[in-house]
Amino acid sequence: MQAIPHLPALRRRQLLQGAAAAAAGSLLPLGQAFAQGFPSQPLRLIVPFGPGGLADISARLVAAKLGEKLGQQVLVDNRPGAGGIVAAQATLSAPHDGHTLILFSNGTTIAKTLLKLPYDPQADFVPLSSMAYFDLNLLVGKDSPFKDLKALLAEGARRPLNLGSINPGSTQHLSAELFRATSHIQAVMVPFKTSGEVQVALLRGDIDVGFESYAALRGGIDGGQLRALATTGPARTPWLPQVPTAREMGLDYEVTGWNAVYAPKGVPQAALDVLGAAMREVMAQPDLRKRLLELGTEPRGSTPAEMAAVFEHDRRKWAQVIQQANIKV
């Protein structure tokens, strides 16, 4: 390389070093070069639920931490409705450059079987990491005669029980269907539009038991208006440690809900690697974990392969429930 005339020695060295660095950068693999410049703008996390719910609040907490980690703001974009179709189509219509992500839930696995989707959640999207897991509760009103799950099952052997949940086809509804199937009790499904209506029906005695998350009816549970006979997860929860699981009570029954972050297929692998690693680091932060636990969810990051396996397991599980119960929308 020719000497650069008429410049002080220090300045010449700086220019030569800069030129050498630029030349080295041009030799980087395309993916690595992309990763060094990613993200280049604020990100958008599309949430298929309205503001204020568990998924929305959890997503906003995670998005704030993820933005700090990536050095770019992560904005939550609520697109509720139509079984997640609106949110999915908004994600697919955006550039597939890693700056637009979507929140999937176990409800997405249900929608794949129950609805005629204009896309395939598994073929058209790729997982980055799980975000949080939560179980449901078998709830009764404070004046209910059922003191534990065994008493409820004994009554279900004598007469049809009224099982309440939100929205036919929801995780809560299918959990009730799975409970009826695995416990072999007589039962009638009673649908409601909101979790609040489930609570009112329990307090009035219109239904015998309701299926809902702790987060959705936290006020009624903590305030003593509702009692949890059992939880549906694999182990007792930190937020209701005194309540046994259904398995503890001798019933072969387990339901776990989850939320996870996905990207549309076609995003460069370098960007997926950056996002996935950032998600796992964020989900391990103690202050975020504490806040999510207080909401009634268990924070948990994962590899893409682990999340894909969870999705497929739940898809098969709920497809069987839907088929056996002959549920149609």
Q: What is the pLDDT of residues 49-62, one digit of tens each?
A: 888 888 999 999 99
Would you report the helix, strand and coil content of the chain in percent, each value rounded to 5? 45, 20, 35
Instruction: Compute the average pLDDT of residues 244-259.
Output: 95
- What's the chain's average pLDDT? 90
Instruction: Compute the average pLDDT of residues 214-234.
Output: 96
Instruction: Compute the average pLDDT of residues 222-235.
Output: 97
Structure-model confidence comparison of residues 24 and 195, the more confident one: 195
Nearest to 87 by CA among 68, 72, 107: 107
Alpha-carbon distance of 133 to 300, in angstroms, equals: 7
What the chain holds in terms of domains, given with CATH numbers, is 37-133+257-325 (3.40.190.150), 136-254 (3.40.190.10)
The model scores a pTM over 0.95: no
Tokens read off for 300: 């948990």
The reported pLDDT for the residue numbered 329 is 67
Alpha-carbon distance of 89 to 187, in angstroms, equals: 37
Nearest to 174 by CA among 125, 104, 112: 112
Say if CB 211 and CB 187 are below 8 A apart. Answer: no
The reported pLDDT for the residue numbered 7 is 44
pLDDT at 224 over 60: yes
The reported pLDDT for the residue numbered 21 is 45
Structure-model confidence comparison of residues 65 and 34, the more confident one: 65
